[in-house]
Amino acid sequence: FQKSLSETFGADKYSRARKEVLTYMFSRPMQMALYFCTGVLDDETLFHHYALNVPFYTHFTSPIRRYADIIVHRLLSASLGARSPIKMEKEAIQKQADHCNDRKMASKRVQELSADLFFSVFVRVRP
């Protein structure tokens, strides 16, 4: 896919921008991951990672990036006995997860609108 885009858009000063915008637009339909508290979900099939085909999956990045990742790090550390359990009820953890999901969706929407605007301006300016 990347090779095809690179060949299609050539090597002028706008080629990289065109490729990045269109790559982003093509990846939009992919389902976005959601944060949730396992203690509030009864259906364990929701923990499954489709692409990796593993029954239980969690993902997190560096805890300096997102609050949800800090919570995951703390919960994982507590489950491994490396720290004391955090003092949050599962409903409070789910409320935080819902808030993080809402903010992530809003951020994604703004990013999409920005890409649409850039692409529209680009198409209007370029012959």
Give me the pLDDT at residue 102, please. 93
What are the pLDDT tens digits along the chain (127 aa)? 667 766 777 777 777 777 777 777 776 666 677 888 888 888 887 787 777 788 887 777 776 677 888 888 888 899 999 999 889 899 999 999 999 889 988 988 898 899 889 888 888 887 6
Burial of 19 per CB tally in 10 Å (0-12, 13-18, 19+): middle
**What tokens does 25 get?**
């637009």
Predicted local confidence at residue 104, as pLDDT: 87
The Cα 50–Cα 96 span in angstroms is 24
* SS3 label, residue 48: coil
In the prediction, which pLDDT does 36 show? 85
Which pair of tokens denotes residue 8?
């299609």
What span, in angstroms and rounded, lies between the C-alpha atoms of 102 and 90?
18
